[in-house]
Amino acid sequence: MAATDAPIPDLRGRADACADRLRAADRVLLVSHIDADGLTSAAIASSALARASIDHRVVFEKQLDDDAIAGIAARDHEVVLFTDFGSGQLDAIATHETRGDFVPVIADHHQPADADTRYHLNPLLEGIDGASELSGAGASYVLARALEGPAVDNRDLAALAVVGAVGDMQDGGGGLVGANEAIVADGVDAGVLESRTDIDLYGRQTRPLPKLLEYASDVRIPGISGDEAGAIRFLRGVDVDATDDDGDWRRWVDLTDAEQQTLASALIRRAVSSGVPADRVDALVGTSYTLLDEAVGTALRDVSEFSTLLNATARYDRADVGLAVCLGDRGAALEEAHRLLRSHRRNLSEGLQWVKTEGVTDEPNLQWFDAGSRIRETIVGIVAGMAASSSAVDRGKPVVAFAEASDVELKVSARGTGLLVRRGLDLSVVMRDASRAVGGDGGGHDVAAGATIPAEARDAFLERANALVGDQLS
Ligand code: C5P
Ligand code: C5P
Ligand code: ZN
């Protein structure tokens, strides 16, 4: 039976029901989403199924639309386990369930559609926020704990669950909160995770110090951010050796605790003296999550860098590579992931640059850009998120981004802020209702959502979305 110490007690009943159904299944098809959270969800669920000796196959889908669900039904498995999606498509899934095509088991954190099913593990059904408190990987982890047998301890999988949560930006306020904290605690207990107060800059494990400072984009420090020479000048003025004996730049992880303290304090003083607002200065410090089984100085050791590496695989049709890395491949798959990461980075930086150069179009209640074929539809959401948190846009309105999905369809990605959500914004409703009104479909979270619409429907969609956002914020 399930573990006695369920990590999130409110979800225990649902997790146990799902686990029991999976144990009783002959053949399970595990279907997951193609992003960092979806990959880690699949790796967690697949590991737990394997440890419970439950026969299964793993496949990935870019999006769970009617065609994809029909394709899944055609694969003829008794039970289909959906991770990191499924709740938002429950209406379509229920049709197949009723027909006897398969029994769905769902571990997800997206806003559910107007339908329910028997084996449904979703934090939102128990009053836990699916955008900020539990990810798809977190839901899969809760399921994994419920799948434990007498000699099985699945707490090591908490490491991947934290990668998934951070990949979904659930650490927005500087660290993970709510249900996610229980998973962090499991990882720490199991000895696979360290959580500590640290400088909150991307690249602590792998970036040479000048790059760490230059590329830090969340908090802009004049004369350092986006300014390599400025970053180097700043480092020269601090009483910490920024280079090693060979004259190579050191990385954040190469510094001693005392050196990290000195450098962090100097950076904060510099931010204050250059007039960075107090709340932005505070954002320079946060919680870092370190995977203790990974080698020091590698992208896999820092959960944030790990999640970027995973996005670099699955969003380019190489989910197999990301899954293999999650499952422990440190040879050919990891090498391929690094190759993909280099081109992913280039795509993101070119995409963001394009948005900054072209600018966004303002509507009364939102701002938008249409990247056409310049930004790949699978990463336009990431670029929209980067744009939304940059100085390139008005932070008082959500950002809606379009990219070509095919000759006949447009991909839409929308991103808001925590402040807008507190004022009433729910982009999952905006994307679902505006897309359905023009013959498309969508959903997601309050703060981040997406849709697919017919190519010619862009302007009608925008008009609807603008009106919906206006209603929510009024
Ligand atoms: O499909 P999934 O739930 O995994 O995707 C979540 C998306 O929402 C990610 O692209 C993530 O960056 C975005 N997000 C965000 N801000 C949040 C929560 C999620 O931009 N606070
Ligand atoms: O694709 P993007 O990163 O913009 O997706 C943001 C969120 O909206 C994700 O959680 C994604 O799963 C969800 N989404 C959805 N239906 C779509 C497109 C995106 O539920 N058609
Ligand atoms: Zn997710």
More confident residue, 181 or 215: 181
Q: How buried is 343 (Cβ within 10 angstroms: 0-12 exposed, 13-18 middle, 19+ buried)?
A: exposed
The pLDDT value recorded for residue 57 is 98
pLDDT at residue 312 is higher than 60: yes
Percent of the chain at pLDDT above 90?
93
What is the DSSP-derived secondary structure letter of residue 276?
A: -
- Ligand found nearest the CA of 412: 2
pLDDT at residue 5 is higher than 80: no
- Using an 8 Å Cβ cutoff, are 100 and 131 in contact? no
30-62 burial code (b ≥16 CB/10 A, e <16): bbbbbbbbbbbbbbbbbbbbebbebebebebbb
What is the 168 CA–ligand 1 centroid distance (Å)? Answer: 4
How, if at all, do strands 367-370 and 361-362 pair? Answer: antiparallel
| Least confident span in 40-44, 173-177, 327-331 | 173-177
- Using an 8 Å Cβ cutoff, are 369 and 361 in contact? yes
How, if at all, do strands 79-83 and 28-33 pair? Answer: parallel
pLDDT-based confidence at 329, cuts 50/70/90? very high
The pLDDT value recorded for residue 3 is 45
Q: Whose CA is nearest to atom 3 of ligand 2?
A: 381
Closest listed residue to residue 390, CA positions, set 360, 428, 345, 425? 360
Span 262-270, mean pLDDT? 97
Ligand 2 atom closest to residue 401's alpha carbon, by position in its atom list: 4
Q: Ligand 1 pocket check: which of 41, 132, 134, 168 to mutate, most ligand atoms within 8 Å of Cβ?
A: 168
What is the 10 CA–ligand 3 centroid distance (Å)? Answer: 20
pLDDT at residue 418 is higher than 60: yes
User: Helix 136-146 and helix 36-51: axis angle, to 10°?
Assistant: 10
The pLDDT value recorded for residue 4 is 53
pLDDT at residue 294 is higher than 70: yes
279-289 burial code (b ≥16 CB/10 A, e <16): eebbbbbbbbb
pLDDT-based confidence at 2, cuts 50/70/90? very low
Domain ranges of the chain: 3-168, 199-346, 359-473
- Ligand found nearest the CA of 68: 2
pLDDT at residue 246 is higher than 80: yes
- Ligand 2 interacting residues, C-beta cut-off 6 A: 63, 85, 88, 110, 381, 413, 441-445, 448-452
Ligand 2 atom closest to residue 35's alpha carbon, by position in its atom list: 3
pLDDT at residue 391 is higher than 90: no
Q: What is the pLDDT of residues 130-160, one digit of tens each?
A: 999 999 999 999 999 999 999 999 999 999 9
Q: Whose CA is nearest to atom 17 of ligand 1?
A: 169
pLDDT-based confidence at 389, cuts 50/70/90? confident
User: Helix 12-23 and helix 136-146: axis angle, to 10°?
Assistant: 70
Q: Tell me, yes or no, if the two domains 3-168 and 359-473 fold the same way.
A: no
The pLDDT value recorded for residue 226 is 87
The pLDDT value recorded for residue 447 is 93
Span 295-310, mean pLDDT? 97
- Ligand found nearest the CA of 136: 3
DSSP string, 83-107: ES-SGGGHHHHHHHHHHTS-EEEEE
More confident residue, 215 or 317: 317
Q: Residues with Cβ < 8 Å from 420, sequence gap 6 or more?
A: 396, 397, 398, 447, 473
Could you give the C-alpha distances from 221 to 202, 228, 370, 390, in angstroms and in order? 15, 12, 30, 13
DSSP bridge partners of 452: 411, 441
Span 238-267, mean pLDDT? 97
pLDDT at residue 36 is higher than 60: yes
The pLDDT value recorded for residue 1 is 38
Read off φ and ψ for residue 197, nearest 5 degrees.
-70, 135
Distance CA 140, CA 32 (A): 11
- Ligand 1 interacting residues, C-beta cut-off 6 A: 33, 35, 37, 84, 131-132, 136, 168-170, 172, 381, 385, 415, 445, 447-448
Average pLDDT of the chain, as a whole number: 95
Q: What is the pLDDT of residues 455-466, one digit of tens each?
A: 999 999 999 999
pLDDT at residue 173 is higher than 90: no
- Ligand found nearest the CA of 111: 2
The pLDDT value recorded for residue 279 is 87
- Per this entry, what is the length of the chain? 474
Span 345-351, mean pLDDT? 95
Architecture of domain 359-473: Roll (3.10)
The pLDDT value recorded for residue 219 is 84
The pLDDT value recorded for residue 216 is 80
Q: Ligand 2 pocket check: which of 31, 65, 93, 110 to mutate, most ligand atoms within 8 Å of Cβ?
A: 110
The pLDDT value recorded for residue 314 is 95
DSSP bridge partners of 454: 409
What is the 261 CA–ligand 3 centroid distance (Å)? Answer: 34
Read off φ and ψ for residue 118, nearest 5 degrees.
-70, -40
Q: What is the pLDDT of residues 393-413, one digit of tens each?
A: 898 999 999 999 999 999 999
What is the 398 CA–ligand 2 centroid distance (Å)? Answer: 15
Residue appearing with tokens 């410090």: 285
Q: Name the H helices within 237-331.
A: 257-273, 278-282, 303-314, 319-326
DSSP bridge partners of 368: 361, 400
Written out in words, the top-level CATH class of the domain with range 3-168 is alpha beta
What is the 88 CA–ligand 2 centroid distance (Å)? Answer: 10
Distance CA 86, CA 257 (A): 44
Read off φ and ψ for residue 73, nearest 5 degrees.
-60, -35
What is the 409 CA–ligand 1 centroid distance (Å)? Answer: 22
Ligand 1 atom closest to residue 35's alpha carbon, by position in its atom list: 4
What is the 250 CA–ligand 1 centroid distance (Å)? Answer: 32
Could you give the C-alpha distances from 124 to 44, 107, 420, 448, in angstroms and in order? 20, 11, 20, 15
What is the 268 CA–ligand 1 centroid distance (Å)? Answer: 28
Percent of the chain at pLDDT above 70?
99
Span 41-57, mean pLDDT? 98
H or E element that contains 198: strand 193-199
What is the 132 CA–ligand 1 centroid distance (Å)? Answer: 9
What is the 383 CA–ligand 1 centroid distance (Å)? Answer: 12
User: Which residues have CB atoms below 5 A from the ion given as ligand 3?
Assistant: 37, 84, 135-136, 168
pLDDT at residue 381 is higher than 50: yes
- Using an 8 Å Cβ cutoff, are 190 and 177 in contact? no
